[in-house]
Amino acid sequence: MRTSRPSSAALSSHLDFLSKLGSNESVVYLDETFRREGDHNEHGFYSVCGVVLQGQHIFTMQDDLREIVGGNYWHATEALRDGRTDVFLDMLEHMRSHPTMNIIVATTNVDGSDEQAMEKARHQVLSELLIDLTNADKSFRGAIMEQRDNRRKNNSDDAFIRNLRLEEKISPAMAFKLISPQIDRNLWLPDTAAMAYRRTITHPYNETSQWFGDYLQKFSHVTVLNENTNPDPRVLPIMSERMKKIQNDP
């Protein structure tokens, strides 16, 4: 679904944040994917996918993505629905060929389908991912996530992040930005990666279930918070070589 044009102030503020990042400092771009319990008579799950980029690659990546997609709009779900499989795979290939990109996924089963259960699961996996990244990458400076469909939900996320800071589980200086993909095209990265991961759960007998393993597995770290979420044996909580390098040489 296309959204209204972002304000110039929001764009200027975000560009200012990105431009002040050091070349080796990193941010994580986040997106969620979920299924409510009972949809198609299946169990519920909630996953957050993070794509870690260094400052030196952020603006180049934005240009690359526009060239791959052929415009300024992308939504992974719509791309698969509309038969743009070739572009989807081009996105995955570009991610696979990147020299320093890392992917982190946190996922959990959800008992219940009401909003409270989904919000609890969202914050559970989001905290797992951000705490893991904070501990693994000393150059980590901020998280960027697509803004939600109403202010109340955005406020819920902001309050949750404030609590993590107060509890000293993440750095007090860690930025948390809820923005539109129209402001930062790099949000297309976790949108695509999250869809590839989702397919390992929702379409286990479909060709698309292979894509996460084929393209993204080698530089991904997946944390499954329970034992039943992930039926694909190739998608395991293995620290990638890139993530090892971040830990050993921050």
pLDDT of residue 189: 99
Task: For residue 141, tell me if it sits in a domain.
Answer: yes
Task: For residue 5, tell me if it sits in a domain.
Answer: no
Task: For residue 128, tell me if it sits in a domain.
Answer: yes
pLDDT of residue 193: 98
Task: For residue 37, tell me if it sits in a domain.
Answer: yes
Phi, psi dihedrals of residue 31, rounded to the nearest 5°: -150, 155
pLDDT of residue 238: 41
- Mean pLDDT, contiguous 10-residue spans, the chain (250 residues): 67 95 97 90 92 97 98 97 97 96 94 91 96 91 96 96 96 96 98 98 93 95 71 41 54
Task: For residue 224, tell me if it sits in a domain.
Answer: yes
CB 244 within 8 A of CB 127: no
Task: For residue 85, tell me if it sits in a domain.
Answer: yes
pLDDT of residue 250: 42
pLDDT of residue 244: 56
Domains in the chain, number? 1
pLDDT of residue 42: 83
Task: For residue 184, tell me if it sits in a domain.
Answer: yes
Task: For residue 14, tell me if it sits in a domain.
Answer: no
Q: Which domain holds residue 204?
A: 24-248
pLDDT of residue 232: 42
pTM flag (> 0.85): yes
41: left (phi over 0), alpha (psi -120 to 50) or beta: left
CATH number for the domain that contains residue 96: 3.30.420
pLDDT of residue 1: 46
